[in-house]
Amino acid sequence: MSVENKLKVIIRPLEKEDIDEVDLVAQKAYGTHHWSKDSFYSELQNKLAQYYIARLEDNTLAGFAGYWYIIDEAHITTIAVAPEFTRKHIGETLLKTILDDCYQKKVKYLTLEVRESNIPAISMYEKYGFESFGVRKGYYQDNNESALIMWTENIFWDKFKSKYEKNISNLKEIIDIQ
């Protein structure tokens, strides 16, 4: 695919000025049960947290993601994409950003919770080497849905890294990440 035909996605760290738009995306992605603006402001002060936004070339906020890290472990707290941009690899681009950070920070393992019904997200995580290792019953307060607990193996192991590199190579064929 030529560069002209690729979707251009600009990834950068979340800033205070982005939170109103992030809140709107969160409302669209999660409905009435989503993080408050205060939660995002608080996360910006959390020294163990890192959050990113994904903007399109026209400056539209398409999604956001974040994680916490302690020593050699990271917990993905959220990856959200506005419904009008789902299935356009925005979530995957945000996941790539988190994984790139983890490689730089020497984080070995990642974990997350995902709704059992969120098959597209589960498929994406599995594609990148996450495996389900348990269930948190009734985890989501809005509908009492259970969450799968997903983990990676050590991301520095050859098996994981080769899968990651193959996925990123394929992603770069369809997304122009800036």
Sign of CA pseudo-dihedral 22, 8, 178, 99: positive
pLDDT of res. 3: 54
Burial (CB count within 10 angstroms: exposed 0-12, middle 13-18, buried 19+), residue 78: buried
How far apart are the C-alpha atoms of 126 and 3, rounded to whole Å? Answer: 28
Look at residues 26, 28, 15 and name the one whose alpha carbon lies nearest to residue 77.
Answer: 26
pLDDT of res. 4: 63
pLDDT higher than threshold 60 for residue 32: yes
pLDDT of res. 53: 98
Residue showing tokens 């498929």? 123
pLDDT of res. 29: 87
Instruction: For residue 34, report the phi and psi dihedrals to the nearest 5 degrees.
Output: -145, 170
pLDDT (tens digit per residue) in 130-175: 999 999 887 776 777 788 999 999 999 999 999 999 999 999 999 9
What is the pLDDT averaged over residues 36-55?
95
- Look up the pTM and report it: 0.93
* Mean pLDDT, all residues of the chain: 92
CA angle 97–125–109, rounded 5-degree value? 65
pLDDT (tens digit per residue) in 95-128: 999 999 999 999 999 999 998 988 999 999 999 9
Class of domain 3-177: alpha beta
pLDDT-derived band at 77, boundaries 50, 70, 90: very high
Q: To the nearest whole percent, how much of the chain has pLDDT over 70? A: 97
Q: How far is CA 157 from the centre of its chain?
A: 21
* Residues catalogued as catalytic: 113, 125
Instruction: For residue 176, report the phi and psi dihedrals to the nearest 5 degrees.
Output: -95, 100
pLDDT-derived band at 92, boundaries 50, 70, 90: very high
